[in-house]
Structure 1
Amino acid sequence: MIEGTIPTRTALVLRQTAAAVGVSPVQVAGVELGADQGDRFRVPIESAWRMWEMIGAAGGPGAGLCASGAAAPGALGVWDYLFSSGETLGESLRTVMELRAAVTDPAVDWQVIEEGRLLTVRVGVAQEADPVFVPVEEFVLALVLRRIREATRTGVIPARVAFTHRTSARYAAMTAEFGTTRIEFGATHSEISFRDGARLPTGGDPRLGELLCDYARLSLTTARPLPSWLDRFRTALAEALTAGDLGLGAVAARMTLSPRTLQRRLTEFETSWRAEVDRVRRQRAMTLLRETDLTVQAVAGRVGYSDARALRRAFVQWTGRNPNEFRADPARVLESAR
């Protein structure tokens, strides 16, 4: 599992919600989201918080309910189906909380608490004053209720719904969403409780539930951060260098952009075409000097310099040493250049 990230599926739901409440366009920390990314990639949690800030600012109280409405069954991948992974709701919810990283940051604290006849799902363990938590709490509790109703095929009504925030301007919308007037604001914990909920049957097949859990765990162990636009640009630049086609127009074409748009995007990432070309040449030259017996002249040609003298000048700028000194002791040269 990758702490400090959320799945792209969750980020897509948030982006869709942001657009629905009037935020456009939504830039997700330099990454480009696509529905085909499935469970393979994750984005930084900072992207989620930024989108929640925009959602809360544009949508106001109740914006979290808009987000839960945008998360149709299956939109959040395997996590949606874990609500029926056990024969009873209590069993299923324990699995849902255990594998919460399939839908959120694994560092987030979600709990299932059984006290007598009361079954409670608690999200977060301390009162938060930050306004960004207003739509987050609404979203999570409304989403959990929707999935519970889908799994149990009932219109189960919560015995209690509690929010740590004190914003109750959309109380009517809250009672309509949760089906109850037993809603508290300014509570110690954000949670939703059900009386006699643990024994509610889900109709789930235990064998299928095991397969779903195995898939969720495998997805979490193999997921990786989604490459940013800058990562993709640097890959295209390295490929262009290898192909001997290191020109602004050629690299822009590789990325299906105009040269002007490419330069503008680089500026957004606080870098430039010249700096990135220098970076990729430096990396390739160092690799060739460490791993091959090519002459300095040959290395210069491979990284786009006219001759060995040009490479030597560049190398002195990068490290304070010439290519032959680097080849003799790369570690010492790099250490002295820091």
Structure 2
Amino acid sequence: MHRDTVPAHLVRLVRNSALRLGITPQEIALATGLEPAALADDLLRVPTAAINRIWELIFARSGDGAGLVVAGDVPLGSLHAWDYLVTTAPTLADGLREGARWITALTDPAVSLDVVEDGRHLTLHYHGLPFQDGVDREISVFALATFLQRMREAGGASAGPVRVAFAHPAPRRHRDLIDAFGTARIDFDQPTNAIVLLDAGQETATADPELARIMRRYVEMGLAAARPVPDWRDTFRAALAEALADDLLSLERVAGRLAVSPRTLQRRLSDRGTTWREEIDAVRHEQAARLLRDTRLPVQSIAARLGYADPRALRRAFQRWTGHTPDTYRKSAVPLTATAEHG
């Protein structure tokens, strides 16, 4: 259901790091097609490709070490309910198992966590997604550093890991990784990314079984209610259709609905290979077809709704769009699916 998507709160976190690094909102919007408002709803799922584009911008700005930079500002709660699943479990091992079970609440469902216990040792394996060389390395560093931070906050990893493994090749220097993970035992070119801990079965300082139960239910409900974030063009066309319905169609008014300047709106349309006029034409085509198919409104009324002063203009446009007149289209369209309207 949530394939190839990540939750909006994760994108928001990475986006905020990009902004702190000096990457502009315009650069992010151009690279991802996302507006900040699209990330405000925690029930929204964003294409994984969008967060990868932000990581590309961060890597281009920071290079090696970008993963630790982003992981350096991930306070408890910024990973939403997933944070509390991990930190309120009775033991660190229990918390990591819950985190692995509900990984889709944190990231793309193709990402996986495996928890393996062997005597006093507990190993958390992180399997990320293949991506551009360098960028996927920093994402893996970010992931393991963030997981370790949550373990430490739960009080179950105060001594730090006894070993850290990365699937990517060794960098030229990795003193920063030794400092961040608290161990010199960091191996590269390993089968998976992993953190090995000792005594993870001890009760955590933040254990709260009742809160853990509530968070588990909250995560389950949130995943069931999640929905994809609207594409920028879908958002724009919805604003265009609203302006058309309100008889307030102008570049300035639609730009205002989208909280951008008219110039910015025109630039974004140009970046996507379209124009203001072409988009108006597309929305009129869509609306005209819907009204002809789903209502009994006369062509004259439909023309007026779509901003045409003369129904003949609509007839010419519809012939250009479809090769049919409005009347022949209406006769051949599927039966009415909506309550008939009368004009």
Correspondence for 1:306: 309
Q: Is it true that 1:328 corresponds to 2:327 in the alignment?
A: no
RMSD across aligned positions (CA): 2.3
Give the Cα separation in 1 of the matches to 2:238 and 2:62.
38
Comparing 179-188 with 58-67, greater Cα deviation is found at 58-67
Deviations 1:131-163 (A, max 9, x none): 221101110111111000101265231121001
Give the Cα separation in 2 of the matches to 1:326 and 1:101.
45
Correspondence for 2:52: 49
Q: Is it true that 1:99 corresponds to 2:102 in the alignment?
A: yes
Q: Is it true that 1:124 corresponds to 2:127 in the alignment?
A: yes
- Structure 1 unpaired stretches of 5+: 333-338
Query: What is the letter of the counterpart of residue 243 of structure 1?
Result: D
Give 1:36 shift.
7.4
Paired residue secondary structure (2:28)? coil
Correspondence for 2:186: 183
Correspondence for 2:62: 59
Give 1:69 shift.
0.9
CA distance 1:21–1:222, change in 2 (3 Å): same
Query: What is the letter of the counterpart of residue 103 of structure 1?
Result: L
CA contact (8 A) 2:11 2:39 kept: no
Of 258, 263, 280, the match for 1:260: 263
CA contact (8 A) 1:111 1:123 kept: yes
Deviations 1:169-217 (A, max 9, x none): 3421111111111110111111001122133434422221111011011
Matches within 5 A, 1:65-214: 65-124=68-127, 130-152=133-155, 155-214=158-217
TM-score of the aligned structures, taking structure 2 as reference length: 0.89
Correspondence for 1:7: 7
Paired residue secondary structure (1:27)? helix
Deviations 1:86-128 (A, max 9, x none): 2111111111011111221111122111223221111118998
Q: Is it true that 1:292 corresponds to 2:292 in the alignment?
A: no
Query: What is the letter of the counterpart of residue 3 of structure 2?
Result: E
Give the Cα separation in 2 of the matches to 1:195 and 1:236.
55
Deviations 1:283-325 (A, max 9, x none): 1111211222221122111111222221111111111111111
CA distance 1:137–1:255, change in 2 (3 Å): closer
Correspondence for 1:336: none
CA distance 1:104–1:309, change in 2 (3 Å): same
- What percent identity do the matched residue pairs reach? 41
Give the Cα separation in 1 of the matches to 2:179 and 2:245.
60
Deviations 1:190-247 (A, max 9, x none): 1001122133434422221111011011111112222243222211111111111222
- Structure 2 unpaired stretches of 5+: 336-343
Give 1:21 shift.
4.1
